[in-house]
Structure formats: C-alpha cells, structure tokens
Amino acid sequence: MFLPQNMRIVLVREPVSGRFGMYRLLAQLSNNAFGVGWNGVDRIAVLTFNKKRTIATMIIVDSSGTSLVRRVLNSGRFDIELDEGKIPLSYTRSELEELLRLDT
C-alpha cells in the first residue's frame, strides 16, 4: 500500500459526503469536525465513507504534502457501520488494506 509504516490511520464513523474534495476535507480535519484531534503537524490518514457506503475517501497528510485517494464501488457496499456521533477508530495499515481490498 502507499502509506508509510509510522502514520496514524483514523476511520471516521460518521457519513461524509462523497463529493467533498481535498480542500474541504482538509478544512474539516483542521477544524476537528471529525473528532480526530489532529495537531496539524503529525502524519495522518483519515478514511471517510459516504452515507450509502459506496464511496471511500482517504485524505493523507505527510511530510511531502496532502493527497486524496477515492474508491468508488459500482456494486456492493463497504462493510463498515456508520452512524452520527460515533467516535473515530484508529486502524493499523494491515486492517486498512483488508477493509479496502476485501469488503467489496
């Protein structure tokens, strides 16, 4: 996978619009709208899903800049439970790979 080994990976468990781009997601991350508690300096990858769980969007902030990765399912859904007000989960790199690769 494209993530460094020592990066914090967070799964936001509230639905986030699949139309949001890099700048909108970065603004929400900076304003702590996701409840992640990012300090603006540390390396972080934040994974969000839309309400229908067909679009996974990940914003990655590291020393080389900010990146946005999106995966759209034409059929099926990601096997993740979303609800308003749920606390974000920390993931390991292998758990993230398994979620994005197998749950389609």
pLDDT in tens, 10-52: 999 899 999 999 999 999 999 999 988 999 889 999 999 999 9
Q: How many CA atoms lie within 13 A of 96 on its CB side?
A: 24
Q: Give the 3-state secondary structure of 40-92.
A: CCCCEEEEEECCCCCEEEEEEEECCEEEEEEEECCCCCCCCCCCCCCCCEEEC
3-state secondary structure of 25: helix
**pTM score above 0.95:** no
Query: Cα(19)–Cα(42) distance, rounded to whole angstroms?
Result: 26
pLDDT in tens, 52-95: 999 999 999 998 899 999 999 999 888 888 877 777 788 888 88
